[in-house]
Amino acid sequence: MTTPVTASKLVAEDLEYLVQRALEDARNAGAEQAEVAASQDLGLSATARLGDVENLEYTSDRGIWITVYRGSRKGSASTSDFTPTAVREAVDKACSFASYTAVDKFTGLADADRMCADLKDLDLDHPWPLDAGQAIALAIECEAAGRDSDARINNSEGATVATGRGVRAYGNSHGFLGSYAKTSHTVGCALLAGDDGNMQRDYHYSTARDAEELDSVASVGEQAARRTLARLGARKIETRRAPVVFVPELARGFVGHAIGAILGGAQYRKASFLLDAVGEKLFPGFVAIGERPHIPKAAASRAWDAEGVATYDRDIVTDGVLREYMLSSYSARRLGLESTANAGGPQNLVVSANAEGLDELLSSMGTGLLVEELIGQGVNAVTGDYSRGAVGHWVENGEIAYPVNEVTIAGNLRDLYSRVEMIGADRDVRGGIRCGSLLVGEMTVAGA
């Protein structure tokens, strides 16, 4: 029987000791500043297809990353060997590399007075004592629930049950040292259905920090079946200008393009369609986007960022106006600004709502396209040009009329954001951007 991923080898104190030792080695090697991150991860994943095991995977990864600074020169090295000799060798390599890199006046640790002092517990660690046999049984049950729900479900891409636990530790020569453990558990299923020679596929999944908060495996399979069956009989539509509603799991990505454009790296490299956009109105006045890093159990909660800077609640967009970028210490220095504690990315972005949910948006839209899946990567981060393949349903008089496929939706994100008319309170909390259903007043919808 496979060892559950609650294995005792994942101990935060051990990683903290490793980080401290590496920092001491860096100081002894003559580094003026140093920072060290260490991690260890264990995971178990089981996939069942057509009632039998298709894949069983156990993962175990670890590493330590060392960065040293000498006279505005930076050197980095890493190793997966945690022995004292290997760590010292990695430190020596980092110091050696710092002798050859170019001088960069913006490099260095985050400011000492920004270090996190409140190492709060955000309730991210909920191990699931799941062994291989149990994971396989749950995956089989999930798929069976979907396959048995309707005779038209005639094939499967499988159901997967996965659990993982990781420990992170970070420290630097300012004296900061912190660690935390986090878990992630997922149940997912993808099914195929056929009717009169028409084949369609769809999926559903549930993910959470705490396995007790997952949807039941049977309900995941059944929902995957319902979504797949709803696609049968898909038609093509004529090219037109029409309103478009994104379901919550896609709305968060639509908003996410704006977030990518306001990251510090995109700004100082001048590779953003929102270049120098702070102070500009990007969305209608009802739209607000707040960063909330300390939501318990949430997907992107952190007490400190990747540089040890304390995270904090802040408003990125208010009244539709962009108020701040998302900056690490390095990108902030390049832009002449202050870090916003976003080294490593954003933390729990919450998008405001002005409607209850999907039904209200469809009623308001009247006639248009409900997008339930996007295909391709047709987004230009520099120009904002947006063109994606789409699958979903055509809506008439506020009611879903029939499924559609082979559709492309297009526009420019600057214009599309200004055309957002409604956002629902039916937020998808499975990711780092919490956004509900979203209605864009008009887009190019290209069909047959």
**Would the pLDDT of 335 be above 70?**
yes
**Would the pLDDT of 1 be above 50?**
no
Longest dimension (CA), the chain: 74
Give the H or E element holding residue 93. Answer: helix 84-98
> What digits encode the pLDDT tens for the residues 190-216?
999 998 778 999 999 999 999 999 999
Instruction: Classify residue 436 by its DSSP letter.
Output: -
**Would the pLDDT of 61 be above 80?**
yes
Phi-psi bin for 85: left (phi > 0), alpha (psi -120 to 50), beta? alpha
Residue 9 has a pLDDT of 55
**Helix, strand, coil percentages in the chain from 3-state DSSP, rounded to 5:** 25, 40, 35
Which alpha helices (DSSP H) does 387-440 contain, by range? Answer: 413-418
| Best CA proximity match to 204, nearest among 191, 214, 185 | 191
**Would the pLDDT of 270 be above 80?**
yes
Q: Which tokens hold the place of 225?
A: 């079946």
The alpha carbons of the chain give a radius of gyration, in whole angstroms, of 24
Residue 6 has a pLDDT of 42
d(CA 51, CA 60): 27
**Would the pLDDT of 76 be above 90?**
yes
Q: Which amino acid is at 244?
A: V
Please enumerate in sequence order all residues whose Cβ is within 8 A of that of 53, keeping only pairs 6 or more positions apart, or say none.
Answer: 46, 47, 136, 139, 140
Quote the Cα angle for 331-251-285, to 5°: 75
> What digits encode the pLDDT tens for the residues 417-438?
999 999 999 999 999 999 999 9
Residue 196 has a pLDDT of 78
d(CA 116, CA 135): 38
**For residue 91, which phi and psi values (nearest 5 degrees)?**
-60, -45
> What digits encode the pLDDT tens for the residues 347-393?
999 999 999 999 999 999 999 999 999 998 889 999 999 999 999 99
- Fold for domain 12-229? PmbA/TldD fold (3.30.2290)
Please enumerate in sequence order all residues whose Cβ is within 8 A of that of 157, keeping only pairs 6 or more positions apart, or say none.
Answer: 49, 190, 191, 192, 201, 203
pLDDT band at 117 (very low <50, low <70, confident <90, very high): very high
Q: Would you call 155 exposed, middle or buried from its count of C-beta atoms within 10 A (0-12, 13-18, 19+)?
A: middle
Q: Do 171 and 13 form a contact (C-beta atoms < 8 A)? A: no
Enumerate the domain spans of the chain. 12-229, 234-448
Q: Do 201 and 189 form a contact (C-beta atoms < 8 A)? A: no
> What digits encode the pLDDT tens for the residues 140-153?
999 999 999 999 99
Q: What is the mean pLDDT of residues 292-307?
A: 98
Q: Do 179 and 94 form a contact (C-beta atoms < 8 A)? A: no
Q: pTM (2 decimals)?
A: 0.93
Please enumerate in sequence order all residues whose Cβ is within 8 A of that of 142, keeping only pairs 6 or more positions apart, or say none.
Answer: 48, 159, 161, 187, 189, 217, 218, 220, 221
